[in-house]
Structure 1
C-alpha cells in the first residue's frame, strides 16, 4: 500500500486508539460525507443555473454528472498515482482542489466558469474518494477499522442528505451562492481539521496496517489484483447498478404507483441504517463473515425488489422499499469494510479501493439507462424482477468467498 508519507519511517505510532487518532478518523469521515454533498448540491439549483448562469438543461446534466464521470473513467489510474505519491499528500491535494473548485463554482457567473469550476471539483473528488478510505484503513486500529470503512460505504447518500437539508434550510432565506459557499466552507473546514489531526500519525500498530505501510512501489500494482479483489469489485458494480437504478426512478414510481407511506427522500435516508448495522456486525469478524453479509444483502434485495414494484397495498410497498434500501446499505458498507481482508500480501489498499470505485463508477453510468430501458419495455413489475436478477448476479460474484480461508489475505 502507499505509505503514510508523513509518518516517521519504520516507527509506527504506538497508540492504537488515542483521542487524536479517533478524532482524525471522525473528521476524515465527516470530510468524506461533505465531499458527497458536493455531488448532491447541484440538483436543487437546476432552475437557477438555467435562469441565471444561462446553462442549457443538457449542460446542467453534465454539471451534475461530471464528478461521477471522472470516477467511472479514471479511478483505477488515479489509485496508481496515489499509491506512488502517498496517501496523506494525495488527501491534502484532493481536499484543496475540491475546496477551491467549490468556492470558484459558488462565485462563477458565466457558463464557461461554472463548467471549469466543476472540472476542478471533479479532479479533487476523484482522488479524495480513494484517499480517504485508504487512510481510514491504515490509520484506524483494528477495533475501529471495520466500523469506519462501513460508515464510509454510505458517504454518498449521507452527503446527498446533507445537501438536501442544507438547501431546504438556506434557499428560502439566502441566495444560491450563499448555499454553495456554505457547502464549500463546511467541507474545507472539516477537511483541514482532518489533515491537521492526521499529520504525523503513523499506521495503526496492528499487523494489518503495519504490513500495508511497509512497502510501496510498482510491484504493488500486480500484487494488488487477486480473485477476491475482482469478486468484490464486480459485486460492488452490480450493487451500484441496481441501487442507482432503483433510486433514480423511485420518485416517479412513488408518484404514479400505489400509495407509499414514505417519500422517496426518506426511503433513501434509510440506506445509512444498513451502513451502521454492517459496521456493528463486522467488528472482529473474518472474510467469510464479510462475504456472507454481502451475500445476505443481495439475497434480501432480490426478495424485496419484486414485492415493492408489484405491491397492491401501501404497507407492503413501504416495507419492501425500506428493506431494499437498508439491504443496499449493508452491501456497500460490507464491501468497503472487507477491504482489509482481501488486500493481498504486498498489495495496495489504495489500488484495491480504486478498482472498487472504478467498478462503482461504471455502474453509476450504466444503472439509470438500464433501468429506463427495462421500465419502458416491461413496466414497473418487470423492473422489480430485473433488480432481483441483478441482485442474484451480485450474489454469484461474492459466493466463492463464502468458502475462503479465514486467514486475511495480507497474512498469506
Structure 2
C-alpha cells in the first residue's frame, strides 16, 4: 500500500513538473517566433534591421532590469499565481500582436509578452522546488533548464509550416491559454502562510542580493550566456563563411548544434542526481567551452571537425545553466527567497546575452574571426574562477 501511494505521488510530482516545464517552453516560443518571423514582419511593415531587432532584444532588456522585482513579486503573490499571470500576459500579448496593424502596436505587444516571459521563467523554478520530491529536484531543474533551447527549436520548426507570421502569433497565444488551464488543474496551490509585508520583502530581497552565493551564481550565468551567445548569434554566418554552405544548411546545422545544448542540460541533471559535485561540473564545462570556442574561432581544424566542436561547445555549455539553477536553492539565504535569487540570475543571463553578441561582433569586425577566441577564452577562465568561489557559498557540499 505504501509503495502504491509513493508511486502515485511520484507520478503526480512529475505531472506537475511537466506542466511547469511546458509553460516554460511556451514562454520560449515567444523568443523563437520573433527570429523565424522577422523576414515576414519586415516585408509587411517595411522596416529596417535596427527597428526589427527590437522584436527580439526587448525581452533581454526587460530581463536585465526586471529579474529582481519579479522575483520579489513571486514571493508576495506566490509562484503559482505569478506563473498564471505570466501565461495570461503571453496570451494577451500574442493575440494583440496577431491583430497589430502597425509596427508600434506589434512592438507594444512584445513588451507584454516579454513581461509574461519574465514572470514565467522566474516563477517556474520556485514551483519546481516545491512540487518535486527532494531526491528529484536536481533532475527537475535540469529538465526545466531545457525550456529555452526546446522552445526556440520548436518555433524554428513551426516556421517551416506556418508561413503567415500572424498565424504563428495566434498559435502561441492558444498554447498559452492551454498552459493556463493545465496549470490551474494540475499544479497544486501553495500551502504557505500569510503574505509578508512589502517592507519585509524589500529587506529580504536586500539580504539575498548582498549574499555572496547569489551574486556569484548571477555572474557565472552572465559569463556562460556571454560565451554561448557570442558563438550562436553568429554561428550561421560563421558556418556559411567557413564551410561555404547555404543559409538553409547553416540554419539546419545550427539547430543540430542547439540539440547538443538540450542534451547537456539533461546530462547535468543525471550527474547531479548521482552526486557529482556542482563546482566540478561548472569548472569542467567552462573549460570545455573555452577550449572549443578557441578552436572554433581560430579555424585551425577542418570544416567537419570545427562543426563538431560547435556541437561539443553547446553540449558542454548545457551543463552550466542546469547546475546553476539546481544550486540556487542552496545559495539562497532562505528558501522563500529563491525567486529573488533566480531573478538575479536571470538578470545576469540577460546581461550576457546582450554583451556577448555586441562584444564579439565588434571584435570580429575590427580584427577578424580569430580575435574572438581571446574573449571566449577569458570568459571561460573567469567562469572557472567564479565557480571556485561558489564552493563555500552553497549550503550543501559542492
**Within 5 A, what are the aligned runs for 1:244-263?**
244-258=229-243, 263=253
Q: Establish whether residue 22 from structure 1 lines up as the match of residue 6 from structure 2.
A: no
Contact kept in structure 1, 2:260 and 2:315, CA below 8 Å: yes
Alignment partner of 2:289 out of 278, 298, 301: 301
Q: Which residue of 1 aligns with 2:353?
A: 364
Q: Which residue of 1 aligns with 2:3?
A: none
**Within 5 A, what are the aligned runs for 1:79-94?**
79-94=71-86
Deviations 1:219-255 (A, max 9, x none): 4223424212211111111001111111011111111
| Structure 1 Cα separation of the partners of residues 323 and 147 of structure 2 | 13
Q: Establish whether residue 110 from structure 1 lines up as the match of residue 102 from structure 2.
A: yes
Q: Which residue of 2 aligns with 1:59?
A: 51
| Structure 2 Cα separation of the partners of residues 222 and 66 of structure 1 | 26
Alignment partner of 2:223 out of 234, 238, 257: 238
Aligned residues: 383
Q: Which residue of 2 aligns with 1:280?
A: 270
Contact kept in structure 1, 2:262 and 2:315, CA below 8 Å: yes
- The CA deviation at 1:55 is 3.8
Q: Which residue of 2 aligns with 1:266?
A: 256
Contact kept in structure 2, 1:25 and 1:139, CA below 8 Å: yes
SS in 1 for 2:304: helix
Deviations 1:337-379 (A, max 9, x none): 1112212236510000000001111111111110112212332
**Within 5 A, what are the aligned runs for 1:288-367?**
289-309=277-297, 310-345=299-334, 348-367=337-356
Contact kept in structure 1, 2:327 and 2:394, CA below 8 Å: no
Contact kept in structure 2, 1:223 and 1:345, CA below 8 Å: no
- The CA deviation at 1:132 is 1.1
SS in 2 for 1:348: helix
**Within 5 A, what are the aligned runs for 1:158-237?**
158-171=150-163, 175-200=164-189, 202=191, 217-218=200-201, 219-225=203-209, 226-237=211-222
| Structure 1 Cα separation of the partners of residues 233 and 396 of structure 2 | 39
| Structure 2 Cα separation of the partners of residues 364 and 72 of structure 1 | 10
- The CA deviation at 1:154 is 2.6
- The CA deviation at 1:54 is 4.3
- The CA deviation at 1:403 is 5.5
| Structure 1 Cα separation of the partners of residues 291 and 194 of structure 2 | 44
**TM-score scaled by structure 1?**
0.86
**Worse overlay, 28-37 or 51-60:** 51-60
SS in 1 for 2:301: coil
RMSD: 2.6
Q: Structure 1: which 5+ runs fail to align? A: 1-13, 204-212
**Worse overlay, 258-267 or 247-256:** 258-267
Alignment partner of 2:91 out of 99, 122, 125: 99
Change (3 A) 1:384 1:16: farther
- The CA deviation at 1:91 is 1.3
Contact kept in structure 2, 1:53 and 1:110, CA below 8 Å: yes
- The CA deviation at 1:321 is 1.2
**TM-score scaled by structure 2?**
0.89
**Bigger fraction of residues in helix:** 2
| Structure 2 Cα separation of the partners of residues 84 and 200 of structure 1 | 14
Deviations 1:51-80 (A, max 9, x none): 323444322211221122101121112212
Q: Establish whether residue 72 from structure 1 lines up as the match of residue 64 from structure 2.
A: yes
Contact kept in structure 2, 1:258 and 1:311, CA below 8 Å: no
Q: Structure 2: which 5+ runs fail to align? A: 1-5
- The CA deviation at 1:16 is 9.1
Deviations 1:306-365 (A, max 9, x none): 122223312321221111110111111111111122122365100000000011111111
